[in-house]
Amino acid sequence: MSDRNLLRVPTMAELTAEGKNPDILFWVGCAGSYDDRAKKITRSFVKILNSAGVNFGVLGSEESCTGDPAKRAGNEFLFQMQAMTNIEVLNAYDVKRVVTACPHCFNTIKNEYPKLGGNYEVIHHTQLLQDLIDQGKLTLEGGEYKGKRITFHDPCYLGRANDIYEAPRNLIKQMEGELLEMNSCKSDAMCCGAGGAQMFKEAENGDEEVFEARTKQAIDANPDIIATGCPFCNTMLTDGIKMKDLNDQIKVLDIAEIIVKANNL
Amino acid sequence: MNYLSNILFVIVLVIGIFMFAKNMGKLIRNVKLGRNVDRSDNSSERWKTVLWVALGQSKMTKKPLAGLLHIIVYAGFIIINVELLEIIIDGVFGTHRVFLEPLGSLYPFLINAFEILAFLVIVSVVIFWLRRNILKLTRFHKPEMKGWAFNDANNILYIETLLMSAFLIMNATDWNLQQLGAEHYHATGQFAISQFISPLLSGMSEISLIVLERGMWWFHIVGILFFMNYLYWSKHLHILFAFPNTYYSKLTPRGELDNLEAVTTEVKMMMDPDADPYAVPEGDEEEPGKLGASDVLDLNWVQLMNAYTCTECGRCTNVCPANETGKLLSPRNIMMKTRDRLEEVGKIVDEKGKFEDDGKSLLNDYITPEELWACTTCNACTDACPVLIDPISIIMDLRRYLVLEQSAAPTELNMMMTNIENNGAPWQYSPSDRLNWKDEE
Ligand code: SF4
Ligand code: SF4
């Protein structure tokens, strides 16, 4: 392992032991922690955080599922158990700001935790990346992505659920990628099929899978890259592209991954 | 003899309004059968939503043609009904065009405006009819749109055409009668649209013109009264319910689902190390409430009002990823079935004075688990709905019942939930491996 692959990922427990309280907590999420594809996104994001000198911490083994899939599967009980346990941990560390690369975690912590006693400023990683640029801590170099045809798939829980459409698009534009919009985009974007706990079950009978339909729409925009900002969307669209045998022509990447490659971090 | 028509008019008017009020009372009672939910907050934001979404129809602009036609029909319909005031006064007091004198030159201006609107309404309605019946737009031909739902939509188009035509023909005959110097028919001049109808009637005798003119006048007012009473059975109820429905709509971010409070209390008890696990909760002898919903009475009143407000336009179903990929789920159908079941429950309440179990429920008899489990909670439906209906909240409440009261989740979801319970992640990984990504590449 080369040096630059060494990530600095302090846990809240370590930081607290040193008497430190970081500026922001990076909520990694279950997909980002365990899913092989999503772990790459997590690493990419941390590389950017490290290079921009962001003072952050993670919960590590103290992090637990936000409860989103349980809640949306109808298990309010399990959701609230998870939520209250997490809130206890977050409050014990006196967390004020949370950033996450998962729109589901983002939505749950931002919108559903406050009424259970968890009040934090929660931002999506694309928003933090934009902040870093605005503060001059991160400069985007288009690199190999300059002029590349990039379409952005809006994750439901970032877009419609929380009205965030521009942060990821601005990042693509600043890398001088050619931003292509699918026919249905932003608030009209079609779901990838993973939300509402669908990720964890077989689909009901129908004509096709939701991810196939959405992948077709993405392909119709004729991109080199399908960018997204959600580990679940990433999985679904990657599957769709594989199914169409297009994995050599079209890459499905998270915005953070694109930045890492472009900036050669 | 002269008073006969005044008396008849008053009787028709009173019966029409009485029946309308009675039906509305029943609808409101049915809505109130729902559970309580507090939407009394933030009234300025709520009024803004009403002005923007219900009155301004802001959501309709997404489909520009339909949006434009709809605003014409809607505005036309409302504005032309200002005429109703004159009709009622004329009807009760036996006058004719009572506003002509006091309004002076404003009167022909108004009637001209009404006529142009009436004409535009007819044109729009014809286009609507063509879209539905000839072009057969897919959203109007989904399985739930068979039978009454389909006829209802066309009926409204026919009623609107007839009402507008009656208004125009009435004005046309009026002018012909003026030309013949018929008694009571004050000179008004010709109007923008009816002037083209007048020549068609030129051969008619005075008496048949009077019959036609009176006939159209009566048709107009009786038609309106009929229409008001038709609303009870129709998706057209939205012309009234859109207002309260948008007022009481959800203002929080779309992605936010409510947290069940009954569960919060229980979870807090469980997590409190000082709580006595065997303690009997104070002062509440009642059965703990059902978690989630299996029938309409378990839904809250906003959800029930949503069901009555649904215009059956299918904008939701049109963008529902589950429906688009051929699954059984259709958010419109969720709303239509909720309304159907609520109607059925309402009838039981009518007969027996209160709800008595009829062996049926919204869940299973109307909405199947297969539909419920296909939802990705993507919010495409709530975003598309022109009257801010929230089908997801109903889907979620029914899911909650399936899971919390019946443990009837699909097997894979049970596995996912067991994993969360055991190791804090939807997959079977140990919490101690959470940071493994740090050193992998
Ligand atoms: S939230 Fe559910 S019902 Fe609504 S559009 Fe998405 S999948 Fe369909
Ligand atoms: S729920 Fe809304 S969008 Fe769907 S059919 Fe009813 S009115 Fe139309």
Tens digit of pLDDT for each residue in A93-114? 999 999 999 999 999 999 999 9
Q: What is the structure's pLDDT at B197?
A: 94
Cα–Cα distance, B337 to B258 (Å, whole number): 23
CA of B320 to the centre of ligand 1 (A): 5
Residues B146 and B8 in one domain: yes
Question: Is B48 domain-assigned?
Answer: no
Residues B266 and B224 in one domain: no
CATH class of the region A139-263? alpha beta
Mean pLDDT of chain B: 92
Residues of chain A within CATH 3.40.50.1860 domain(s) are: 3-131
A142-174 pLDDT, tens digit per residue, is 788 888 999 999 999 999 999 999 999 999 999
Q: At what angle do helices B206-230 and B2-32 cross, to 10 degrees?
A: 20
CATH of A3-131, one of 1.10.3720.10, 3.90.1150.10, 3.40.50.1860, 3.20.20.100: 3.40.50.1860
Q: What is the structure's pLDDT at A97?
A: 98
Question: Is B13 domain-assigned?
Answer: yes
Q: For the purposes of burial, counting CB atoms within 10 Å of the CB of A142, is it exposed (0-12), middle (13-18) or buried (19 or more)?
A: middle
Nearest chain A CA: its distance from B269 CA (Å):
11
Residues B220 and B275 in one domain: no
Q: Please state the rounded mean pLDDT for residues A32-43.
A: 97
Q: What is the structure's pLDDT at A184?
A: 95
Question: Is B154 domain-assigned?
Answer: yes
Residues B94 and B218 in one domain: yes
Residues B218 and B340 in one domain: no
Q: Which tokens sit at A117? A: 């006693």
Nearest chain B CA: its distance from A249 CA (Å):
24
Residues B338 and B381 in one domain: yes
Comparing CA positions, the residue from A129, A106, A132, A116 lying closest to residue A83 is A116
Residues B276 and B170 in one domain: no
Task: Please say if the pLDDT value at position B208 is more than 80.
Answer: yes
Confidence of residue A1 (pLDDT cuts 50, 70, 90): very low
What CATH number is attached to the domain comprising B320? 1.10.1060
Q: What is the structure's pLDDT at B183?
A: 85
Q: How many CB atoms lie within 10 A of CB B43?
A: 10
Residues B129 and B221 in one domain: yes
CB contact under 8 A, A204 and B437: no
Confidence of residue A136 (pLDDT cuts 50, 70, 90): very high
Question: Is B255 domain-assigned?
Answer: no
Residues B182 and B267 in one domain: no
Residues B362 and B404 in one domain: yes
Q: What is the structure's pLDDT at B275?
A: 67
- The set of residues, in sequence order, having a beta carbon less than 8 Å from that of B134 and lying 6+ positions away, is none
Residues B229 and B266 in one domain: no
Residues B109 and B164 in one domain: yes
Contacts of B367 in chain A (CB under 8 A): none
Q: Is B434 an interface residue toward A (CB < 8 Å)? A: yes
Q: Please state the rounded mean pLDDT for residues B313-321.
A: 97
Task: Please say if the pLDDT value at position B34 is more than 60.
Answer: yes
Coil, strand or helix at A181 = coil
Question: Is B251 domain-assigned?
Answer: no
Task: Please say if the pLDDT value at position B287 is more than 70.
Answer: no
Cα–Cα distance, B375 to B296 (Å, whole number): 19
Q: Looking at the partner chain, which of B264, B327, B429 has a beta carbon nearest the beta carbon of A206?
A: B327
Question: Is B289 domain-assigned?
Answer: yes
Question: Is B188 domain-assigned?
Answer: yes
CB contact under 8 A, B435 and A30: no
Q: What is the structure's pLDDT at B273?
A: 74
Q: Which helix (H) or strand (E) holds A251?
A: strand A251-254
Task: Please say if the pLDDT value at position B279 is more than 80.
Answer: no
Confidence of residue B434 (pLDDT cuts 50, 70, 90): very high
Domain ranges, residue B221: 2-31+63-234
Q: Please state the rounded mean pLDDT for residues B181-205.
A: 90
Q: Which tokens sit at A126? A: 């694309």
Confidence of residue B282 (pLDDT cuts 50, 70, 90): low
Q: How many structural domains is chain B composed of?
A: 2
